[in-house]
Amino acid sequence: DADVTQTPRNRITKTGKRIMLECSQTKGHDRMYWYRQDPGLGLRLIYYSFDVKDINKGEISDGYSVSRQAQAKFSLSLESAIPNQTALYFCATSEGTAYEQYFGPGTRLTVT
């Protein structure tokens, strides 16, 4: 089984809809991250969490919210989706700052 899983893998939704992307990990890491990836822009950090009670905004948090339900679960929500949130979203985990990050398989989100 994969160490970091994301659901759904693909999603098409309409402008204004609320959508939640879920991430689970079995690596036992405290640190979890949400990124979005757009062609030509690379990976950009949306939110990160160092433990269940510690959640922080990243570079591009506007329009997004997160919930850390447990050490192993970190969800990303789009309260009212808009077309420019169409992107590939990745969840990642790490043991610490200067440690490699382990990425989930990604969720391809399309907002029409």
Partner 1 sequence: GQNIDQPTEMTATEGAIVQINCTYQTSGFNGLFWYQQHAGEAPTFLSYNVLDGLEEKGRFSSFLSRSKGYSYLLLKELQMKDSASYLCASPGGSQGNLIFGKGTKLSVKP
* Nearest distance from C-beta of residue 25 to partner 1, angstroms: 13
x/- letters, 56..85, toward partner 1 (CB under 8 A) = x-xx--------------------------
Q: Using CA atoms, how far apart are residues 70 and 35, in angstroms rounded to an integer?
A: 19
Q: Is residue 101 close enough to count as binding partner 1 by CB under 8 A?
A: yes
Q: State how far the alpha carbon of 89 is from the alpha carbons of 7, 104, 107, in Å.
A: 11, 9, 5
In the list 13, 86, 106, 110, the residue contacting partner 1 (rule: CB under 8 A) is: 106
Task: Sort 25 into a burial class: Cβ within 10 Å, 0-12 / 13-18 / 19+.
Answer: buried
Q: Which residues bind partner 1 (CB under 8 A)?
A: 33, 40-45, 48, 50, 56, 58-59, 88, 90, 97-98, 100-106, 108
